Amino acid sequence: MVRFVVLTHDWPEPHWDFLVEAGDTLRAWRLLAEPVSGADVPAESNFPHRLLYLDYEGPVSGGRGHVLRWDAGTCVWAADGPDRMELEIRGTKFTGSVVIRREGKSWVFRLTASAAG
């Protein structure tokens, strides 16, 4: 199993960062709305992040705001293709599945989960 984290990030405008461990970096997507179970959330593919963000909260270098942990845990890749990724997550807030899929030139993030106990 690998780790994931969802961070709230306040720069340049409030958004959520979904980060998944991929070897020595984190694959990253910027979520333009709060992840809500059963809802499609517009997303943007982002550059790989450093592993330190799995455990980090605080200011981001270069004056790029602050991040706070929103959810974190472990996950298993169910599918990993160029236009669709699927993960089974077990976090502190949510447990269930995440699908990130390309729709045209855009990405969509969908969480199907129940509140973790």
In terms of residues, how long is the chain? 117
Structure tokens at 26: 């984190």
pLDDT in tens, 37-47: 999 999 999 99
H/E segment holding residue 103: strand 94-103
**77-92 per-position pLDDT tens digit:** 999 999 999 999 999 9
pLDDT in tens, 54-67: 999 999 999 999 99
Q: Which of 7, 12, 8, 17 is nearest to 62 (CA)?
A: 12
- In this predicted structure, the answer to whether residue 115 has a pLDDT above a threshold of 70 is no
Report the alpha-carbon angle 108-31-110, nearest 5. 40
| DSSP notation for 61-92 | GGG--EEEEEEEEEEEEEEE-SSEEEEEEEES
Asked if 29 and 35 touch (Cβ cutoff 8 Å), the reply is no
User: What are the backbone dihedrals phi and psi of residue 52, each rounded to the nearest 5 degrees, phi first?
Assistant: -60, -25
Q: What is the mean pLDDT of the chain?
A: 95
Domain hosting residue 62, numbered range: 2-115
On the question of pLDDT at 114 being above 90, the answer is no
Give the count of domains, the chain.
Answer: 1
Helices (H), the chain: none
